[in-house]
């Protein structure tokens, strides 16, 4: 590839990473930036000059891009994007590296659900020895011997299974394609085995991408298949679990509870909802709610942008790209 490489950083966050990338790129690149909210004509003028585009959601009518050889997003989710949204043959890549903090978040959630650590610390710090003696209770649970069922055995599922197995849990999962069960799973099925996974699991983890096939895949019928003590965990996308069915299952104590980090209503430039759902989940006592931050550790950002730099170096060398999601068909 020619030494005269141009990188277009699109987005307010991406625009701040020029110095970080310069220090890690093996060849000299010319940097150009565009901030959404500015005149889009500037973006349309810059794009044909770029060999690579790094940034978030900039889909729309694009000009001819004969030089463009990579559209790289510095995060994982791409449910806003389809192959027809970008030029034919253009590689579209994402980044992961969030699986480590998300796996730790999930383990923390399960451990606290069993042990009640946060509540115990709060109660003892507020009441001391009132009505309690050393070692006299209340008794708590263990994750040891429990079963976690992982829906979507990808980056997140693998890291969760490693940690769960280390705690003595039984680990089962389902994936899109049939394959031999890999360590550390005890069993791996396909999506047709969802009912088996739900009925056997103490914890059900939703970790699959949102797609036409997975939208609303957990609904009232699936909650009927879960244990009445089962806990559902969602770190994927909110709408994979039917909103109404989730609320009813929790409100009616049909299942044991839920750990939810991804939602249905998010604030944006136009809408600023007070709560993340049309249902009052915050009034329930069997749900733990967090604001879509399970993956946001201090180390994540640097790891992701290092992955971006690595892929840009692969492009410059002519090597195969990593984390190729699809190629455009537009």
30 and 103 within one domain? no
Q: What helix, strand, coil percent values describe the chain, rounded to 5?
A: 35, 20, 50
Q: Is residue 13 part of a domain?
A: yes
Q: Are residues 123 and 262 in the same domain?
A: yes
pLDDT at 88 over 80: yes
Do 283 and 316 fall within a single domain?
no
Q: Are residues 156 and 278 in the same domain?
A: yes
Q: Pick the range with the lowest mean pLDDT from 59-68, 146-155, 211-220, 279-288.
A: 59-68
* Residue 294 located in a structural domain: no
**Do 259 and 320 have their domain in common?**
no
Whether 105 maps to a domain, the answer reads: yes
What mean pLDDT do residues 88-95 have? 95
DSSP class of residue 255 equals S
Domain-embedded: residue 89: yes
pLDDT digits (tens, 9 = 90+) for 200-214: 999 999 999 998 899
Residue 209, domain CATH: 3.40.50.720
Q: Do 227 and 304 share a domain, yes or no?
A: no
Between strands 29-34 and 5-10, the pairing is parallel
- pTM across the whole model: 0.84
Is the pLDDT at 38 greater than 80, yes or no? no
CA–CA separation, 12 and 58 (whole Å):
12
Would residue 93 count as lying in a domain? yes
First to last CA, the chain: 24
Question: Tokens 């040891």 identify what position?
Answer: 144
Asked if residue 156 and residue 11 are part of one domain, the reply reads no
The pair phi, psi for residue 125, each rounded to 5°, is -65, -25
* Residues 76, 209: Cα–Cα separation, whole Å: 10
Both 63 and 45 in one domain: the answer is: yes
Give a yes or no: residue 198 inside a domain.
Answer: yes
- Cβ–Cβ under 8 Å, residues 217 and 176: no
232 and 310 housed in the same domain: no
Is the pLDDT at 133 greater than 80? The verdict is no
**pLDDT tens figures, 15-36:** 899 999 999 999 999 999 998 7
Which domain does 104 fall in, by range? 99-289
Distances (CA, A) of 16 to 11, 12, 34: 9, 7, 11
In the predicted model, is pLDDT for residue 3 greater than 70? no
Is the confidence at residue 188, as pLDDT, over 70? yes
Res. 1: pLDDT tops 70 = no
Q: Give yes or no: residues 228 and 311 share one domain.
A: no
One-character DSSP codes across 138-193: -----STT-EEEEES-SHHHHHHHHHHHHTT-EEEEEESS--PPPTT-SEEEEGGG
The structural domain count of the chain equals: 2
Query: For residues 234 and 241, what is the distance between their CA atoms, to the nearest angstrom?
Result: 8
């Amino acid at each position: 590839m020619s030494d005269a490489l141009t990188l277009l950083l699109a987005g307010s966050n991406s625009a701040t990473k020029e110095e970080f990338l310069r220090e890690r790129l093996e060849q000299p690149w010319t940097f150009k930036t565009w901030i959404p909210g500015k005149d889009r004509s500037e973006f349309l003028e810059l794009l044909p000059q770029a060999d690579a585009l790094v940034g978030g959601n900039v889909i729309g009518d694009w000009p001819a891009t004969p030089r463009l050889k990579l559209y790289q997003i510095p995060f994982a989710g791409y449910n806003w994007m389809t192959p027809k949204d970008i030029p034919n043959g253009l590689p579209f890549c994402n980044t992961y590296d969030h699986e480590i903090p998300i796996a730790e978040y999930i383990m923390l959630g399960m451990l606290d659900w069993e042990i009640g650590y946060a509540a115990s610390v709060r109660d003892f710090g507020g009441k001391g020895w009132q009505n309690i003696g050393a070692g006299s209770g209340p008794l708590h649970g263990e994750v040891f011997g429990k079963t976690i069922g992982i829906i979507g055995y990808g980056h997140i599922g693998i890291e969760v299974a490693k940690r769960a197995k280390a705690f003595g849990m039984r680990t089962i999962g389902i994936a899109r394609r049939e394959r031999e069960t890999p360590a550390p799973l005890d069993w791996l099925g396909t999506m047709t085995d969802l009912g088996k996974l739900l009925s056997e699991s103490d914890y059900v983890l939703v970790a699959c991408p949102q797609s036409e096939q997975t939208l609303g895949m957990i609904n009232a019928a699936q909650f009927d298949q879960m244990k009445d003590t089962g806990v559902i965990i969602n770190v994927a996308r909110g709408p994979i679990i039917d909103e109404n069915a989730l609320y009813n299952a929790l409100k009616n104590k049909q299942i044991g509870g839920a750990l939810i980090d991804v939602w249905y209503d998010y604030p944006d430039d136009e809408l600023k909802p007070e709560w993340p759902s049309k249902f009052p989940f915050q009034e329930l006592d069997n749900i733990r709610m967090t604001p879509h931050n399970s993956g946001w550790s201090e180390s994540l950002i640097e790891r992701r942008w290092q992955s971006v730099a690595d892929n840009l170096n692969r492009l410059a060398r002519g090597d195969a790209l990593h984390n190729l999601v699809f190629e455009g068909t537009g």
